């Protein structure tokens, strides 16, 4: 839809340049008839496409259903503007409405593409995943940002075992809470299992919460993640109890300084981790 709306905008601008604005009232101009007709036909099919996308979004309770409605509104505004251009006295008004409606449609359909791309990169997924349904099971996940006295952060590295490119990424220790398990206890357990470090009891609330979805090892994950920030002495990582998937995917561990994170091209999740750590350290002064 985004590409088609873009094409319609380009053709519309070409029609404005090629079709005389001062022509008499008529559905089709004598000059530039082909470009004008192409613009109108494409607009008709855009309207049908917009209706189809909107109806599917409503029926499936898609999270972008509001944007599909805005996109459809933009298309119909542009269509109304196109109709007004047939009348000489209303031509400039119609052109103005077209130039307003088309960008509205463009950005309405573009926004989900950008949002999904950001969401996929921020979550660590390299593939598009199905939208969560009303019956999707979301995991409660505890993650721990361990910061040593030199302000270095412990990160684990892994690769997707089904990724043929074996692209490595870095992430904070943590994992899903078991049924009935307190999220703070889940954080302590996961850190011990993945690093061998026995954390003291966590007294504070998570400083960051996020909702994320991604595909890993051929499976779709939908997670509510809570991040705890904890000061600790530096220790050697010695995993104690890894799952079969973790054994297949984990590749190492490293303490990263903030400046190293900022200057590195490594893939780190969450993407703004260095800023989050810096902001947290300022509150500790």
Task: Please give the structure tokens belonging to residue 139.
Answer: 């995991």
Comparing 71 with 179, the larger pLDDT belongs to 179
| Greatest mean pLDDT among 93-97, 103-107, 220-224 | 220-224
Q: Tell me which residue of 142, 146, 148 sits closest to 230, measured CA to CA.
A: 146
Task: Please give the structure tokens belonging to residue 143.
Answer: 């993650």
Provide the sign of the torsion angle of the four alpha carbons 112, 113, 119, 125, taken in this order: positive
Torsion angles phi and psi, residue 9, rounded to 5: -65, -45
The reported pTM is 0.56
Provide the sign of the torsion angle of the four alpha carbons 192, 161, 154, 122, taken in this order: negative
- Confidence bin at 125 (pLDDT 50/70/90): very low
Integer Cα distance of 43 and 38 in angstroms: 8
Averaged over 87-113, what is the pLDDT?
A: 75
Comparing 53 with 159, the larger pLDDT belongs to 159
pLDDT in tens, 242-260: 989 999 999 999 999 988 9
Residues in contact with 219: Cβ distance below 8 Å, sequence separation at least 6, in sequence order: none
Task: Please give the structure tokens belonging to residue 244.
Answer: 């079969």
| Greatest mean pLDDT among 5-9, 38-42, 150-154, 266-270 | 150-154
Task: Please give the structure tokens belonging to residue 106.
Answer: 């463009």
Integer Cα distance of 219 and 214 in angstroms: 8
Cβ neighbours around 100 below 10 Å, total: 13
- Confidence bin at 152 (pLDDT 50/70/90): very high
Architecture of domain 139-284: Alpha-Beta Complex (3.90)
What is the DSSP secondary-structure string of the chain? -HHHHHHHHHHHHHHHHHS-TTPPS-SS-SSSHHHHHHHHHHHHHHHHHHHHHHHHHHHTT-TTHHHHHHHHHHHHHHHHHHHHTTSGGGHHHHHHHHHHHHHHHHHHHHHHHHHHHHHHHHHT--S--PPP-TTPPPEEEEEEEEE-TTSEEEEEEEE-TT-TT--EEEE-SEEEPPTT--HHHHHHHHHHHHH---PPPP-SPPSEEEEEEEEETTEEEEEEEEEEEEE------------HHHHHHEEEEEEEEHHHHHH---EEESTTHHHHHHHHHHHH-
């Amino acid at each position: 839809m985004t590409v088609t709306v873009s094409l319609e905008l380009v053709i519309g601008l070409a029609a404005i340049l090629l079709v005389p604005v001062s022509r008499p009232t008529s559905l089709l101009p004598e000059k530039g008839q082909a470009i004008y007709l192409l613009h109108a036909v494409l607009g008709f099919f855009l309207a049908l496409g917009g209706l189809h996308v909107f109806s599917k979004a409503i029926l499936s309770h898609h999270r972008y259903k509001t944007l599909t409605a805005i996109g459809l509104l933009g298309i119909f505004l542009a269509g109304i503007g196109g109709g007004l251009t047939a009348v000489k006295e209303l031509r400039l008004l119609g052109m103005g409405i077209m130039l307003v409606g088309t960008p509205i449609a463009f950005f309405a359909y573009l926004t989900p593409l950008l949002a999904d791309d950001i969401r996929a990169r921020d979550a660590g997924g390299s593939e598009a995943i199905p939208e969560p349904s009303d019956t999707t099971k979301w995991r409660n996940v505890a993650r721990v940002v361990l910061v040593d006295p030199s302000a270095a952060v412990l990160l684990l590295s892994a690769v997707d075992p089904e990724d043929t490119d074996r692209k490595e990424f870095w992430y904070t220790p943590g994992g899903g809470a078991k049924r009935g398990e307190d999220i703070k206890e889940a954080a302590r357990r996961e850190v011990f299992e993945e690093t061998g470090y026995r954390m003291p009891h966590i007294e504070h609330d998570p400083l960051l919460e996020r909702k994320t979805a991604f595909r890993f090892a051929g499976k779709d994950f939908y997670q509510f993640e809570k991040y705890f920030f904890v000061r600790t002495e530096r220790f050697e990582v010695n995993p104690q109890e890894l799952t079969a998937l973790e054994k297949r995917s984990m590749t190492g561990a490293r303490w990263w300084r903030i400046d190293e994170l900022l200057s590195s091209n490594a893939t780190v999740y969450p993407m703004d981790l260095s800023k989050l750590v810096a902001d947290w350290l300022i509150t500790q002064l």
